[in-house]
Amino acid sequence: MKTVLLGVSASISAYKAADIVNQLKKRGVNVEVIMTRHSTEFITPLTLQTLAKTKIHTDVMEEHIPSEINHIDLVKRADIFVIAPASANIIGKIANGIADDMLSTTALSVHDMPKLIAPAMNTYMYANPAMQDNLEKLARYGYQLIEPRESLLACGDFGKGALADVDTVVSIIMDTLNQ
């Protein structure tokens, strides 16, 4: 059984992670979920745990199995690393080597596997030159971008920055897993 290591960061689109997990599980994929602290304010870990049928990881200092280093062993068991939604904050952290929470620390541990990132943020944030530089860095580091879509955003602005449709995200994950 293939395993997706799914990172969920703080975006209004975090609730869509439930659909991503649910669709992956229906396709016979194991899903391990890492949530940033602030993402838990958009969707509860219990929701994702119920769908994934696995413990949700939120704290880099919490080791569930004493003989394992959680952020390393999660990577060793995974076939693909995905962050959906990826906030401007988590993109900036990973692009600049910052490891100060479970998701960013785990991201720096990912090596020989496909890495997908699905941004979700305000259109002005997405278009910002610093954000575009960070995305270029991530591309150099082997991340494949799942392009955000144009939409009416939660803030009322219209433009590119909305999380790609869940079906698109899941399709890209499955295609990548099956390569």
Task: State residue 23 phi and psi, 5-degree precision.
Answer: -65, -40
**Cβ contacts of residue 1 below 8 Å, gap of 6+?**
28, 29, 30
Range of the domain at 7: 3-177
Run means of pLDDT, 10 residues per run, the chain, 179 residues: 97 97 98 98 98 94 77 93 98 97 97 96 95 98 96 77 96 96
Q: Given 72, 127, 139, 155, which residue is catalytic?
A: 155
CATH code of the domain in which 100 resides: 3.40.50.1950
The whole-model pTM stands at 0.95
Q: How far apart (Å, rounded) are the C-alpha atoms in residues 97 and 82?
A: 17
Strand partners, 162: 149
- Count up the domains in the chain and report the number: 1
Question: So what's the pLDDT on residue 153?
Answer: 67
Which DSSP category does 1 fall into? Answer: -
- Cα 72 from Cα 94, distance rounded (Å): 16
- Which residues are 82's β-sheet partners? 6, 116
Strand partners, 151: 159
The answer to whether 155 is a known catalytic residue is yes
**pLDDT given for residue 60 in this prediction:** 81
pLDDT of residue 159: 77
